[in-house]
Amino acid sequence: MDAKEEFLEKLLTEYQKSFDIVRDYEIGGVQAAAYGFYSAVSEKYVLNPKANLWSIHGYEHILFLPRERVSLQDIEQAHALMRDVMAPQLVCKGGKVPEKDHLYSYLTVAFLCDYTPEAEVLQAVRKFSFEKNYLLTIRGYAQGHLVLMDLSAGKAYTNRAGAHLAEYYEKIFRGASA
């Protein structure tokens, strides 16, 4: 088992604590080593759940993409995947807007690479941005998180929206329970 496979197994073990995981997942012509799905619902009601005042739904979809090296084309592909495939299929489920009570969907692409990427790739990761509002946020929004895990250095690089994931990935890499 190489370093990528070993790290992926550790990562999926941690994610399985709260995500549904599907291995060898294909979406939009991209083959992912795994796909993770998380769903959360919050509700407020009076005395009885039938007297529901409000309800909100939150989701996260994550694709794990092992690569020997990550290039600028991979970063562009991640953006196109979020915009053209993940948002329409996973967030809107083929419709124009997400379901009623949808608040947010995080679309995460996690690259697991063997070698430290070039400086322009790291800059592209930091500048990466994807945000889509639905009906002026009445039907919520989708936000893109990008993670690039450099397995040669044990360092995670992320875009601003996914910054919280860097420490999580590095902790898992070091073998600490997240």
| pLDDT, tens digit, 9 for 90 and up, residues 94-108 | 999 999 999 999 999
Which residues sit opposite 143 in a β-bridge? 106, 131
3-state secondary structure of 159: coil
Q: pLDDT, tens digit, for every residue of 107-121? A: 999 999 999 999 999
User: With contact defined as beta carbons under 8 Å apart, do 62 and 15 qualify?
Assistant: yes
pLDDT value of position 111? 98
* Number of CB atoms found within 10 A of residue 101's CB: 15
Separation CA 175–CA 173 (nearest Å): 5
Nearest to 105 by CA among 128, 125, 134, 77: 134
Residue 177 pLDDT grade (very low, low, confident, very high; cuts 50, 70, 90): low
Query: What is the residue range of 163's domain?
Result: 3-174
The owner of tokens 């329409």 is 88
State pTM to two decimals. Answer: 0.92
Q: Decide: 12 and 178 in contact? Cβ < 8 Å.
A: no
Which of these, 54, 29, 51, 33, lies nearest to 43 by C-alpha position? 54
Strand runs labelled E in the chain: 20-27, 30-45, 52-67, 102-113, 131-133, 141-150, 155-158
Q: Give the single-character DSSP code of 100.
A: T
Number of domains observed in the structure of the chain: 1
Reported as a single tens digit per residue, the pLDDT across 156-171 is: 999 999 999 999 999 9
Closest CA to 91 of 81, 108, 78, 104: 104
